[in-house]
Amino acid sequence: MLANFKVVLVETSHPGNIGAVARAMKNMGMDQLRLVTPKLFPHADATARASGADDVLRNAEVYSSLQDAIADCQIVLGSSARDRTISWPSLTARECADKWGGNTDDTIALVFGRENSGLKNEELDLCHYLLRIPCNPGYSSLNLAAAVQVVCYELFVSSNQQYQSLIGDQGEVPLATAEQMESFYEHLQQTMADIGFLHPDRSTSIMRRLRRVFNRTQLDTKELDILRGILRFSQSHNLK
Ligand code: SAH
């Protein structure tokens, strides 16, 4: 149950929080923990706060970048307490659980940010949705493990309610993974530069907006193949 959800913690400073996250996950039947460049890990404080969920800690995978940590995931949700100037499509924890908690074949990353500064915009660029826990607008930043607890709780409740599969996705083409999407974006950016559409000064903001467009549509691998084919064609055509 919920085995296809990966909890990804980015640059956690306090090892105790990593332990508390492991405990929160195990309470809710989840055990797939990924750590991106944690400041201190493994650490006695993590083990102490895990209090019995040390198996989750032991099996935690450590990555040197967020991109690597989400490479095999089809859906990536970046959780944030703050409003951003760019509005990423957002879901509450409950909406996320309603959408995927009961029935999904996709591998889903739940990404959580640093205790002091959250996730950077460049990291949210890698996410399909912003995940929000509704709370007091004047004091909206939960402790990291508390935020993980709320999200995992919603998923747990929803997966119990929806154990009878209602949505039949079987037999459909799998969604593109984050790694496949990243190589598509590189190809797209390169093609736009090659055909003289993209001015280097504007490439960051245009690419960010294009990412939003494609992330909204959740491309499957066949659709991605078609788009890559168009890019290859435009590049070769442009060279002639
Ligand atoms: N001070 C940081 C928040 C750190 S809290 C900031 O300004 O962004 C650590 C992490 O917990 C956040 O990066 C986010 O992933 C998660 N989190 C905390 N409160 C949240 C909320 N209300 N909604 C969604 N995620 C939240």
Given a cut of 50, whether residue 189 has pLDDT beyond it is yes
Q: What is the pLDDT of residue 176?
A: 92
Do 109 and 80 share a structural domain?
yes
Give the closest residue to 192 by CA, choosing from 179, 182, 202, 180.
Answer: 202
Q: How far is the CA of 238 from the centre of ligand 1 (A)?
A: 46
Angle at 112 between CA 41 and CA 101, to 5 degrees: 115
* Ligand 1 atom index nearest CA of 10: 13
Q: Say yes or no: 32 and 139 in one domain.
A: yes
Domain count, the chain: 2
Is pLDDT above 80 for 48?
A: yes
Check which CATH number belongs to the domain holding 47 and give it.
3.40.1280.10
Q: In this model, does residue 25 exceed pLDDT 50?
A: yes
The pocket around ligand 1, CB under 6 angstroms, is made up of 79-82, 112-113, 115-119, 131-133, 135, 140-142, 144, 147
- Looking from the CA of residue 140, the nearest atom of ligand 1 is 22
Question: What integer pLDDT is reported at residue 240 of this predicted model?
Answer: 62
Q: Which residues constitute the domain of residue 134? A: 5-167
- C-alpha separations of 157 from 28, 93, 153 in Å: 9, 12, 6
Please give the number of the atom of ligand 1 that sits closest to the Cα of 134: 22
Per the DSSP assignment, residues forming a β-bridge with 62 are: 35
Domain shared by 54 and 102, yes or no: yes
Of residues 162 and 51, more confidence is placed in 51
Name the residue type at position 127: C
Let me know whether 59 and 88 are in one domain: yes
Q: Are residues 161 and 182 in the same domain?
A: no
Q: Which residues lie below 8 Å from residue 237, measured CB to CB, with a gap of 6+?
A: none
Residues 63 and 14 reside in one and the same domain: yes
Lowest-pLDDT range of 69-73, 107-111, 125-129, 189-193: 189-193
* Average of per-residue pLDDT values in the chain: 91
Tell whether 67 and 27 lie within a shared domain: yes
For 83-109, write each residue's pLDDT tens digit.
766 678 999 999 999 999 877 889 999
Report the separation in Å between the CA atom of 79 and the middle of ligand 1, taken as the mean of its atom positions: 7
Q: Is residue 229 part of a domain?
A: yes
**CB-based contact 20:40 (threshold 8 Å):** no
pLDDT of residue 80 exceeding 50: yes
The answer to the question of residue 107 being in a domain is yes
* CATH code of 216's domain: 1.10.8.590
Domain membership of residue 139 (yes or no) is: yes
pLDDT at 123 over 90: yes
CA-111 nearest atom, ligand 1: 15
Which residues are bridge partners to 132 per DSSP? 92
More confident residue, 66 or 167: 66
Residue 1: pLDDT band with limits 50, 70, 90: low
**What is the per-residue pLDDT for 167?**
43
Would you place residue 165 in the very low, low, confident or very high pLDDT band (cuts 50, 70, 90)? very low
Residues 120 and 183 in one domain: no
pLDDT of residue 119: 96
Q: State in Å: Cα 152 to ligand 1 middle.
A: 15
Distance 6 CA to ligand 1 centre (A): 17
Q: Name the more confident of 210 and 17.
A: 17
What are the pLDDT digits (tens) for 51-73?
999 999 999 999 999 999 999 99
Question: If you measure from the C-alpha of residue 114 to the centroid of ligand 1, how many angstroms do you get, rounded to a whole number?
Answer: 8
**Predicted confidence band at 168 (pLDDT cuts at 50, 70, 90)?**
very low
Q: How far is the CA of 39 from the centre of ligand 1 (A)?
A: 18
